[in-house]
Amino acid sequence: MGTATAFWSFAVVVGLLTLTPGLDTALILRTAAAGRRREAWGVVLGIQTGTMTWGALSSLGVTALLAASHAAYDTVRLVGAAYLLWMGARMLWTSMRRGHGVAEPTAEEERPAPTSGLFPGWRRGALTNLLNPKIGVFYVAVLPQFIPANAPHLAMGVALTCVHVVEGLLWSATLVAFAQVLRGWLRRPVAQRVLDRITGTVIVGFGVKLAIGD
């Protein structure tokens, strides 16, 4: 396989993966729809930081140890599942409190909290990505197949991962823009409750799936 062919083939594979609705899509849309554009971009950058980390570690052969060691894999998997379950349950609890007579926030209270911003979003996105060992296993299984035999393994692996990151950034920009267009409707109290419940359920579902190792 030539270098150009490897890039194009890998771009198609990870492009389809990027476009598939999942946890990343739910997190980005939910954060952007709440009007926290800066925090949403923090989530995006955190997710892509995790992707780049997994790609680099896979290129170095480190993630192969994760795939080979049941103890290491299960440790990361259970910690990641606990984090997702906590985050999803928190969203569901907030939406239920709003739906049971708790006063809706005023215009002043709807402003982003002091803890919201680029870094908190980045931390959430990075943790969500890095605590999912299935992404590491995906890179272990898929990435080496697209590295030509005569190419430097680390450099080519990182370059291919950059393709995934660029596609992720482009798709995320589309999601953030879409959420901004619908921002007025999505920031209504009823819409916020529905969005939190949907997103919370999706995240809890991913957490349960990760916990049972499905």
SS3 assignment, position 69: coil
Confidence of residue 110 (pLDDT cuts 50, 70, 90): very low
**Confidence band, pLDDT 50/70/90 cuts, at residue 199:** confident
Q: Please enumerate in sequence order all residues whose Cβ is within 8 A of that of 75, keeping only pairs 6 or more positions apart, or say none.
A: none
The number of beta carbons lying within 10 Å of the beta carbon of residue 123 is 14
* CA angle in degrees (0–180, nearest 5) for 104-108-112: 90
Give the domain range for residue 99. 3-211
Say whether pLDDT at 173 is over 90. Answer: yes
How far is Cα 171 from Cα 10, in angstroms, rounded to an integer?
Answer: 16
User: What pLDDT is stored for residue 36 in this prediction?
Assistant: 84
Kindly report, residue by residue over 11-57, the tens digit of the pLDDT: 999 999 899 888 898 899 888 887 788 999 999 999 999 999 999 99
Mean pLDDT, residues 101-115 taken together:
44
Look at 105 and 18; give whichever has higher pLDDT.
18
Q: Per the structure, how many domains does the chain have? A: 1
Flag whether pLDDT at 125 surpasses 50: yes
